[in-house]
Structure 1
Amino acid sequence: MMDNLRAASNHVVLKIILGLIILSFVLTGVGGYLTGGIGGDYAAKVNGQEISRAQLERAFSSERSRQQQMLGDQFSALAGNEGYMQQIRQQALSQLIDELLLDEYAKDLGLAISDEQVKQAIFNQPAFQTNGKFDNAKYMSIINNMGFSADQYAEALRKQLTTQQLIQSVTGTDFMLANETDSLAALVSQQRLVREVTINIDALVAKQTVTPEEINSYYQQNKNNFMSPEQFRVSYIKLDAASMQQPVSESDIQSWYDQHQQSYTQPQRNRYSIIQTKTEAEAQSVLDALKKGGDFATLAKQKSADPISARNGGDMGWLEPDTTPDELKNAGLKEKGQLSSVIKSSVGFIVARLDDIQPEKIKPLAEMHDEIAATVKQEKAVDAYYKLQQKVSDAASNDNESLAGAEQVAGVKAVETGWFGRDSLPAELNFKAVQDAIFDGNLVGENGSPGSNSDIITVDGDRAFVLRISQHKPEALKPLSEVTAQITDMLKVQKAQQEAKAQADKLLAELKAGKGDEALKAAGLSFGAQQTLSRTGQDALSQAAFALPLPSEGKPSFGVSEDAQGNIVVMALDKVQKGTMPDAQKQALVQGITQNNAQLAFAALLSNLRKDAKIKYGAAAQAQ
């Protein structure tokens, strides 16, 4: 729920970290995770507690990243809409306000997470483990990548778990009584026994006649339905970096390796052990014991105030410069086995020992040869691609009457498409930038004549097009002669439907009046065999059957519906009977309803918290 967690949640490795609970850890100070902004430059104040501009910016950035990942190419268009981006910003702020309100409410209820719960959750998390054991170095590296100090992370996750506890307490209270469950199951599993009379539309369609006047009248009144869509034919040249591979020499590979050696270098890594104490006197006592030959691991397990490193005998694992706390960097430890003096840290005092050193290591060229060769080959191809792209662009601009000049420079013939419309763009041109160039009207000549060449249109970074519209047909009304058959068929169907509905209404009235047998015989119709329909049926006839009134005194109830083929159906509901529902299905039904009720309860809780809260918005709430 916390904003830093949202920011990290798009990282593939870090997704599994969400939901962990972490207590205060080694060598880091308490950083005000929810510190307010300066002066009036805040996003909101909730019951006097401030949501800072920085918090809102982090939440907005993470929500923006999430939507970009979810929407892909569509997000680029939406991102240019100021109103849309402001909406994302407001959603992020609303979430922060809800989190703060829930946190306050949880405190009022006295909800809390014990240190033991926190500690056990840490030790049991696979994300922080190596070979099934907690790895402090791995933990430090991960949370540093997330932008947290240990105390900030612990505080954020402690708040998150407390809020989850609140949510569970609210949403876990809904239940249904046994008799309620049985009644609901009986209603859902109910079955209806029906008979049907079908009035076939196709048979009636064949009997209909349509006059020329009716056809012309329909055509005049519905011209918008008979427009021929705008049509295009396009000639294009496609450039693709992947098809422009260049030879790579050993000297090219060596040169690349020499210039990028830092990328193949693992920095020096140090392994430390620490013992943390609450007071300087305790730390000095530990240091004295170590100098007299005391075992570091034993003392760490007995004396260290940090539960994580203590469990591992003080071992913090391998640390690279980026993940090494400043206190250890500045401790002056240079040799294996060297002890530090007493170090003051933000969480107390520590004594540290440098256990081992792994010197800087550079991967040899032989190990990286094939990877570098592929990289250099790709770079050369991209370089050649951009040079050719510029030449083709110049040629297309200089000869704007055709693509002949561009073809000569590119060394390929232009491809010409068949006719297509806005909703049938050829797959090879199905890129938004290409689509925009074709349909925005700038490349269309007058009166259907060819227009001008496009500029170079790049797509996906390593492909490009130059194109021209070779032929164009504007939107136009189809002549009556072209659509007469279509209109004739439509009018016949309309007339058949009207006749069928009139016949059904008449038959329905006769059935309700007790004269159904004579009416059915006169129409040459009869009810089919009785069938059993269930409430779960998705077809129109099943839905219609359960909308009919219950039969009374042994007399069926009647109604009219329509089947999937458009035929008109007269229905007779003879009987309603109880169905059966397996226990597993009944349990799933109850679970679904209670979950829905719980969601409504939680939404009501949030609504009431907002209604009672004093919320003041600051300048940062509207900043872009």
Structure 2
Amino acid sequence: MMDNLRAASNHVVLKIILGLIILSFVLTGVGGYLTGGSGDYAAKVNGQEISRAQLERAFSNERARQQQMLGEQFSALAGNEGYMQQMRQQALSQLTDEILLDQYAKNIGLAISDDQIKQAIFTQPAFQTDGKFDNAKYLGLIGNMGFTADQYAEALRKQLTTQQLIKSVTGTDFVLGSESDALAALISQQRLVREVTINVGELAAKQTVTPDEINNYYQQNKNSFMSPEQFRVSYIKLDAASMQEPVSESEIQGWYDEHQQDYTQPQRNRYSIIQTKTEAEAQSVLDALKNGGDFATLAKEKSADPISARQGGDMGWLEPDTTPDELKNSGLKDKGQLSGIIKSSVGFIIARLDDIQPQQIKALADVRDDIAAKVKQEKAVDAYYKLQQKVSDAASNDTESLAGAEEAAGVKAVETGWFSHDNLPAELNFKPVQEAIFNGGLAGDNGAPGRNSDIITVDGDRAFVLRISEHKPEAVKPLPEVTAQITDTLKQQKAQAAAKSQADKLLADLKAGKGDEALKAAGLSFGQTQTLTRTGQDPLTQSAFALPLPAAGKASYGVGEDMQGNVVLLSLDKVQTGEMPAAQKTALVQGVTQNNAQIAFEALMTNLRKEAKIKYGAAAQAQ
């Protein structure tokens, strides 16, 4: 059944449903409801078994999710045995946590009513047509996923119960008014600060650096002066999209005749049903119908299926693929025909065939443009693969150049400029091409040209054949090439040290009450007062809010750096309370509450895991 679910998940609408319920019943104990147990289990959680099949499905789903999210990167990860085993353990942990939550919900008496389940189904957009619940769509979609209505309702009940539990835990935290006021006051606090900037750039211009200092720095930091491996590449690109040609009317007609089933809507039937739990109830309903009873009225009054009952028994239009076997085998052929009592997996059914829509075939004129595009694409792809083989043979026969491949392709090869691993040209920015260039197999010896590549195919019916024209291995840049860079670095370091030393001396004088004289002697002075808030992200703001509160009538001093790397003396003269808008304060409280709620939920899960009796079976480590 879960294989059906995975197959059905390729349908766009079904993905919407799966997105809502997959965490709750594909990765949880509902798997045990859908499949039989096995002696070879993955784990037992307080006696409740997680079967090998459940773990394999959870692992498969997580693998598919990561593959979709990571794309081509997943291929490399999938080859790492440790990574795959870690993913398997994560899937088992998720299954375990879901069972613990389900068990805890039952222990504290959380329950979901039938009315809540009905409402959840009726309001699910995936089951609606034009904003109204569509019973036929509902039955068809859950049927394609391998569920009966009862099984789907049970899965949904587990999901809603878990949601109710999470809400009950995370929705109870609160912040006292006094606490929120104090927090808002702390965050909105303002600091009045004056600054003295010691310009490091001006000091750097006055520094001198000796050749020995430059050489020593170079020898100690050679890894900082590496020239990356570089390449120049010649390549030929083949693209099916550029090979499209006009198509004839006979080709269009031929495609239409050969693929007519693609443009055919099969016969559709519209049924109404009344479902009962016992055969005696079904016989009573059938007798009432034969005596002139109204089908819709009886369905609303008697049917045990709340979904179809709400619609007077109407199931909407059903195609062969979405028609339950019970209805297919009911023998109903004519409009208005009433069935006998039909035994089904959910009880007993009385059915009526309300209407029939015959099979319909779209006219060629209505689909001509679509077919023309498909034929054009198909012809282009055929020509592309033939040319690809021709170019591949030519490149293999003459490995010393692309001349033969150029002649076969009918185009000249393109040659790139120099590039490294970090700046692959955009026209070659495909993972298979990247791997072919950088894996070392095509590069020649000592920078010489290499051999031709095989045909490299990429997405979109495109392919490349290429060769490395020139290659430079990674190497340390020579000293003359980096001397200017090292000189600037050493001057900056010396200037930074000098500025910090000067700032430390001035700071000591300021704290000793000799600041005015010291600043005047250094040709420096404090600037105008600035009002800083905690929202500032620059280094000076962070330094200012790290200073201790000033004593009454005095300043608090410190040293920091600005965004340009200059050393700055700070004078914190005053701290005052700012104002926080009501909306911002509300958002702050909500953020704190949510954070506390998350902590509470994690504490609950930690406690459930600690108290649980979990026994792991052989399937937990199976590959």
TM-score, normalised to structure 1, is 0.94
Partner residue, 1:332: 331
Partner residue, 1:160: 159
Partner residue, 2:447: 448
1:59 maps to a residue whose letter is A
Given that residues 235 and 415 in structure 2 are in contact (C-alpha distance below 8 angstroms), is that contact kept between their aligned partners in structure 1?
Answer: yes
Partner residue, 2:507: 508
Structure 1 stretch 410-419 or stretch 143-152: which is displaced more?
143-152
Partner residue, 1:295: 294
In structure 1, what is the Cα distance between the partners aligned to 2:441 and 2:312? Answer: 73
Given that residues 557 and 574 in structure 1 are in contact (C-alpha distance below 8 angstroms), is that contact kept between their aligned partners in structure 2?
Answer: yes
- Kindly state the Cα deviation for residue 360 of structure 1 after the two structures are TM-superposed: 2.2
Given that residues 275 and 310 in structure 1 are in contact (C-alpha distance below 8 angstroms), is that contact kept between their aligned partners in structure 2?
Answer: yes
Partner residue, 2:73: 74
Deviations 1:492-513 (A, max 9, x none): 1111001001111111111111
Partner residue, 1:39: 39
Given that residues 340 and 353 in structure 1 are in contact (C-alpha distance below 8 angstroms), is that contact kept between their aligned partners in structure 2?
Answer: yes
- Kindly state the Cα deviation for residue 72 of structure 1 after the two structures are TM-superposed: 2.4
Partner residue, 1:88: 87
Question: Is the alpha carbon distance of 1:125 and 1:481 closer, same or farther for their aligned partners in structure 2, counting shifts above 3 Å?
Answer: closer
Partner residue, 1:410: 409
Partner residue, 1:398: 397
- Kindly state the Cα deviation for residue 596 of structure 1 after the two structures are TM-superposed: 0.5
In structure 2, what is the Cα distance between the partners aligned to 1:92 and 1:140? Answer: 30
In structure 1, what is the Cα distance between the partners aligned to 2:174 and 2:342? Answer: 56
In structure 2, what is the Cα distance between the partners aligned to 1:225 and 1:333? Answer: 82
- Name the SS for the 1:334 alignment partner: coil
Question: Is the alpha carbon distance of 1:486 and 1:195 closer, same or farther for their aligned partners in structure 2, counting shifts above 3 Å?
Answer: same
Given that residues 20 and 125 in structure 1 are in contact (C-alpha distance below 8 angstroms), is that contact kept between their aligned partners in structure 2?
Answer: no
Question: Is the alpha carbon distance of 1:7 and 1:78 closer, same or farther for their aligned partners in structure 2, counting shifts above 3 Å?
Answer: farther
In structure 2, what is the Cα distance between the partners aligned to 1:19 and 1:169? Answer: 23
Partner residue, 1:570: 569
Given that residues 36 and 51 in structure 1 are in contact (C-alpha distance below 8 angstroms), is that contact kept between their aligned partners in structure 2?
Answer: no
Partner residue, 2:14: 14
Partner residue, 2:554: 555
Deviations 1:372-424 (A, max 9, x none): 11111111111111111111111111101100000000000000011111111
2:325 maps to a residue whose letter is D
Partner residue, 2:122: 123
Given that residues 3 and 62 in structure 1 are in contact (C-alpha distance below 8 angstroms), is that contact kept between their aligned partners in structure 2?
Answer: no
1:64 maps to a residue whose letter is R
2:326 maps to a residue whose letter is E
In structure 1, what is the Cα distance between the partners aligned to 2:353 and 2:32? Answer: 31
In structure 2, what is the Cα distance between the partners aligned to 1:465 and 1:19? Answer: 38
- Kindly state the Cα deviation for residue 123 of structure 1 after the two structures are TM-superposed: 2.4
- Kindly state the Cα deviation for residue 615 of structure 1 after the two structures are TM-superposed: 1.6
Structure 1 stretch 477-486 or stretch 506-515: which is displaced more?
477-486
Partner residue, 1:52: 51
Give the 5 Å matches for 1:507-546.
Answer: 507-546=506-545
Deviations 1:584-619 (A, max 9, x none): 111110100110111111111111111111222233
Question: Is the alpha carbon distance of 1:3 and 1:112 closer, same or farther for their aligned partners in structure 2, counting shifts above 3 Å?
Answer: farther
- Kindly state the Cα deviation for residue 8 of structure 1 after the two structures are TM-superposed: 7.4
Given that residues 5 and 146 in structure 2 are in contact (C-alpha distance below 8 angstroms), is that contact kept between their aligned partners in structure 1?
Answer: no
TM-score, normalised to structure 2, is 0.95
- Percent identity, aligned pairs only, is 83
Given that residues 137 and 318 in structure 1 are in contact (C-alpha distance below 8 angstroms), is that contact kept between their aligned partners in structure 2?
Answer: yes
- Name the SS for the 1:13 alignment partner: helix
- Kindly state the Cα deviation for residue 371 of structure 1 after the two structures are TM-superposed: 1.0
- Name the SS for the 1:110 alignment partner: coil
Question: Is the alpha carbon distance of 1:173 and 1:4 closer, same or farther for their aligned partners in structure 2, counting shifts above 3 Å?
Answer: farther
Structure 1 stretch 141-150 or stretch 405-414: which is displaced more?
141-150
Pair 1:581 & 2:563 matched: no
- Kindly state the Cα deviation for residue 45 of structure 1 after the two structures are TM-superposed: 1.6
In structure 2, what is the Cα distance between the partners aligned to 1:44 and 1:406? Answer: 59
2:14 maps to a residue whose letter is L
Pair 1:107 & 2:106 matched: yes
Partner residue, 1:315: 314
- Kindly state the Cα deviation for residue 230 of structure 1 after the two structures are TM-superposed: 1.6
- Name the SS for the 2:536 alignment partner: coil
Given that residues 267 and 320 in structure 2 are in contact (C-alpha distance below 8 angstroms), is that contact kept between their aligned partners in structure 1?
Answer: yes
Structure 1 stretch 495-504 or stretch 119-128: which is displaced more?
119-128
Partner residue, 2:365: 366
Given that residues 270 and 318 in structure 2 are in contact (C-alpha distance below 8 angstroms), is that contact kept between their aligned partners in structure 1?
Answer: yes
In structure 2, what is the Cα distance between the partners aligned to 1:165 and 1:248? Answer: 60
Give the 5 Å matches for 1:145-544.
Answer: 145-544=144-543
Given that residues 270 and 353 in structure 2 are in contact (C-alpha distance below 8 angstroms), is that contact kept between their aligned partners in structure 1?
Answer: yes
- Name the SS for the 2:419 alignment partner: coil
- Kindly state the Cα deviation for residue 325 of structure 1 after the two structures are TM-superposed: 1.5
In structure 2, what is the Cα distance between the partners aligned to 1:354 and 1:15? Answer: 31
Unaligned runs of 5+ in 1: 22-29
Aligned residues: 614
- Name the SS for the 1:256 alignment partner: helix
Question: Is the alpha carbon distance of 1:577 and 1:8 closer, same or farther for their aligned partners in structure 2, counting shifts above 3 Å?
Answer: farther
Given that residues 193 and 531 in structure 2 are in contact (C-alpha distance below 8 angstroms), is that contact kept between their aligned partners in structure 1?
Answer: yes
In structure 2, what is the Cα distance between the partners aligned to 1:239 and 1:482? Answer: 41
- Name the SS for the 2:487 alignment partner: helix
In structure 1, what is the Cα distance between the partners aligned to 2:31 and 2:316? Answer: 24
In structure 2, what is the Cα distance between the partners aligned to 1:31 and 1:571? Answer: 64
2:549 maps to a residue whose letter is L
Given that residues 275 and 303 in structure 1 are in contact (C-alpha distance below 8 angstroms), is that contact kept between their aligned partners in structure 2?
Answer: yes
Structure 1 stretch 135-144 or stretch 475-484: which is displaced more?
475-484
2:110 maps to a residue whose letter is L
In structure 2, what is the Cα distance between the partners aligned to 1:214 and 1:129? Answer: 77
Given that residues 32 and 51 in structure 2 are in contact (C-alpha distance below 8 angstroms), is that contact kept between their aligned partners in structure 1?
Answer: no
2:328 maps to a residue whose letter is K
- Kindly state the Cα deviation for residue 104 of structure 1 after the two structures are TM-superposed: 0.6
1:553 maps to a residue whose letter is A
2:102 maps to a residue whose letter is D
- Name the SS for the 1:546 alignment partner: helix
Partner residue, 1:137: 136
- Kindly state the Cα deviation for residue 249 of structure 1 after the two structures are TM-superposed: 2.0
- Name the SS for the 1:33 alignment partner: helix
In structure 2, what is the Cα distance between the partners aligned to 1:202 and 1:487? Answer: 16
Deviations 1:334-353 (A, max 9, x none): 11111111122222222111
In structure 2, what is the Cα distance between the partners aligned to 1:202 and 1:325? Answer: 81
Structure 1 stretch 68-77 or stretch 213-222: which is displaced more?
68-77
1:563 maps to a residue whose letter is D
In structure 2, what is the Cα distance between the partners aligned to 1:59 and 1:355? Answer: 42
Given that residues 35 and 51 in structure 1 are in contact (C-alpha distance below 8 angstroms), is that contact kept between their aligned partners in structure 2?
Answer: no
Unaligned runs of 5+ in 2: 22-29
Deviations 1:444-487 (A, max 9, x none): 11121111111111111511111111111122222222221111
- Kindly state the Cα deviation for residue 567 of structure 1 after the two structures are TM-superposed: 0.2
Given that residues 43 and 618 in structure 1 are in contact (C-alpha distance below 8 angstroms), is that contact kept between their aligned partners in structure 2?
Answer: yes
* Root-mean-square deviation over aligned CA pairs: 2.1
In structure 1, what is the Cα distance between the partners aligned to 2:580 and 2:18? Answer: 39
Given that residues 7 and 61 in structure 1 are in contact (C-alpha distance below 8 angstroms), is that contact kept between their aligned partners in structure 2?
Answer: no
- Kindly state the Cα deviation for residue 81 of structure 1 after the two structures are TM-superposed: 2.2
